[in-house]
Copies of this chain bind each other. A is one copy, B any other.
Amino acid sequence: MVYIIPSLIEEKISPRAKELIKKLDNFVENECVPAEPIFHKQIDKGEDRWKTVPPIIEELKKKARSLGLWNLFLSKNYHEGAGLTNLEYALMAEITDTGNMEVFAKYGTFAQKSKWLTPLLNGEIRSGFAMTEKKVASSDATNIETSILRVGNAYVINGHKWWISGAGDPRCAVFLVMGKSDPGNENKHRQQSLIIVPRNTPGINIIRPLTIFGYDDAPEGHCEIIFKDVRVPVENIILGEGRGFEVIQGRLGPGRIHHCMRAIGAAERGLQLMIERVTDPSRRTFGKLLAEHGTVVSDIAKSRMIIDQARFLVINAADMIDKVGAKHALKEIGMAKAIVPSMLLKVLDRSIQAHGAGGVSEDFPLAAMYAGGRTLRFADGPDEVHIQQIGKLELRRAREIKKANEKRSKLKPKL
């Protein structure tokens, strides 16, 4: 078993969760990792690249489900969930991946859930989240320009989105689209709505898949999409008009933690590859194994230390969500989000360096992991925004500190 639960929190993990973690770790190590080269072979190099899904993926999904390793991510607050705490799932997310089904589970009506959540959970369809816009700095959600206008019993959507991950996938059946239904509202956080838009609605034009560095991530892809007079029934609104901001706030907390833990899993893999490489006896320089050079040893130690530190931030945030909810864990979630992606990139960069030219090539997963990891530094808000927010939350302590000072100054014994 490669994965180890940090000693510090072992007592908090139920026997059932421990069992699942172990099974999951085995599945990933012995089924998924060996399947990677098969996956790459099965992806078409030509035009059909976006039309088929490599069969190995469906095989693995089937297997995962038969092992009970399916849809573990919905926490025990949900009827549909696997009954794990956020902390427990965070440990598993270090090993696996999820979608945006949480929105449906948390905010969907019964009808919305029946129509979309069920097939999503079954892995029959996939979905895309259409938030980012090409022409504005949409990391500030108040900048969003896509319009969602009520016309009779329908909403009409017009907007220019990009970086809609998964939109290239032939299984993608539905988008959640963020836009402004009330752009004149004085409360800037009540202008937005989130709406369900089936993939095959007329007026949706998928312009192109974008690349991340040189990767197109087919068949899922990250697409640029124009929504032109796209019309959906009013019941497709999520939670109600003007509540889009609220919904994405609720979605982001646990989602960010999952992203972070997957990034930590990726960092562990990067370090593992580095250890493998520097102890490879055929890679001697100047008469020594790479692992015998002091600076290489030091790089490995530094990677271990930043991974472990980052992991504690994430599991602490997950634990806070379990205890007081995402709203009251903003600082903890923000710290995880601000630290983890940079940590991952540092670890991968050292591993790439130890691999030399091989490290940037397709012969190792490192460069592709780096490219993916790089997007995490602005996905769901750039580092800078999170850091400013953490700083401001910390600065709120100023008042309490001043009070304590004043109290002390009265207590101060005479000299």
The answer on a CB contact under 8 Å between A315 and B30 is no
Q: How far is the CA of A347 from the CA of B369 in the complex (A)?
A: 21
Q: Does A114 contact B (CB under 8 A)?
A: no
Q: Does A78 contact B (CB under 8 A)?
A: no
Which residues of A276-334 have CB atoms within 8 Å of chain B's CB atoms?
276, 278-279, 282-286, 290-291, 293-302, 304-305, 308-310, 312-313, 315-316, 319-320, 323, 331-332
Q: Does A261 contact B (CB under 8 A)?
A: no
The answer on a CB contact under 8 Å between A353 and B367 is no
Knowing A304-B390, A312-B309, A415-B38 touch, does A8 contact B8 (C-beta < 8 A)? yes
The answer on a CB contact under 8 Å between B391 and A297 is yes
Q: Does A200 contact B (CB under 8 A)?
A: no
The answer on a CB contact under 8 Å between B335 and A304 is yes
The answer on a CB contact under 8 Å between A361 and B211 is yes
The answer on a CB contact under 8 Å between B294 and A293 is yes
B residues near A9, Cβ cutoff 8 Å: 8-9
Which residues of A9-35 have CB atoms within 8 Å of chain B's CB atoms?
9, 11-12, 29-30, 33-35
Knowing A283-B137, A309-B309 touch, does A316 contact B401 (C-beta < 8 A)? no
Knowing A132-B357, A162-B357, A282-B135 touch, does A294 contact B291 (C-beta < 8 A)? no
Closest residue to A136 on the B side, CB-wise? B282
Q: Does A111 contact B (CB under 8 A)?
A: no
B residues near A29, Cβ cutoff 8 Å: 404, 408
Total copies of this chain within the assembly: 4
Q: How far is the CA of A282 from the CA of B136 in the complex (A)?
A: 6
Q: Does A214 contact B (CB under 8 A)?
A: yes
Shortest Cβ gap from A232 to chain B (Å): 26
Q: Does A151 contact B (CB under 8 A)?
A: no
- Contact mask A137-179 → B, CB, 8 Å, 1/0? 1011001000000000000000000110000000000000000
The answer on a CB contact under 8 Å between B213 and A371 is yes
B residues near A323, Cβ cutoff 8 Å: 7
A7 in complex: contacting residue of B319, B394, B401, CB < 8 Å: B319
Which residues of A371-393 have CB atoms within 8 Å of chain B's CB atoms?
371, 374-375, 377-379, 382-385, 387-392
Shortest Cβ gap from A72 to chain B (Å): 21
Q: Does A115 contact B (CB under 8 A)?
A: no
Q: Does A184 contact B (CB under 8 A)?
A: no
The answer on a CB contact under 8 Å between B338 and A37 is no
The answer on a CB contact under 8 Å between A394 and B313 is no
The answer on a CB contact under 8 Å between A320 and B7 is yes
The answer on a CB contact under 8 Å between B286 and A140 is yes
Shortest Cβ gap from A167 to chain B (Å): 14
The answer on a CB contact under 8 Å between B7 and A316 is yes
Knowing A301-B388, A305-B390 touch, does A34 contact B382 (C-beta < 8 A)? no
Shortest Cβ gap from A306 to chain B (Å): 8
The answer on a CB contact under 8 Å between A356 and B276 is no
Q: How far is the CA of A312 from the CA of B309 in the complex (A)?
A: 7
The answer on a CB contact under 8 Å between B360 and A375 is yes
The 7 A-B residue pairs with the shortest CB-CB distance, nearest first, are A214-B214, A294-B294, A312-B312, A297-B391, A214-B215, A301-B391, A309-B309
Chain A interfacial positions (CB closer than 8 Å to B): 2, 6-9, 11-12, 29-30, 33-35, 37-38, 41, 46, 132, 134-137, 139-140, 143, 162-163, 210-216, 222, 271-272, 275-276, 278-279, 282-286, 290-291, 293-302, 304-305, 308-310, 312-313, 315-316, 319-320, 323, 331-332, 335, 338-339, 352-353, 356-358, 360-363, 367-368, 370-371, 374-375, 377-379, 382-385, 387-392, 394-395, 397-398, 401-402, 404-405, 407-409, 411-413, 415
New A-B pairs, 17, CB < 8 Å, besides A34-B409, A139-B356, A353-B384: A7-B323, A11-B11, A34-B413, A38-B413, A136-B283, A140-B286, A211-B214, A213-B368, A214-B214, A222-B357, A295-B298, A296-B384, A300-B394, A301-B391, A302-B387, A309-B310, A360-B371
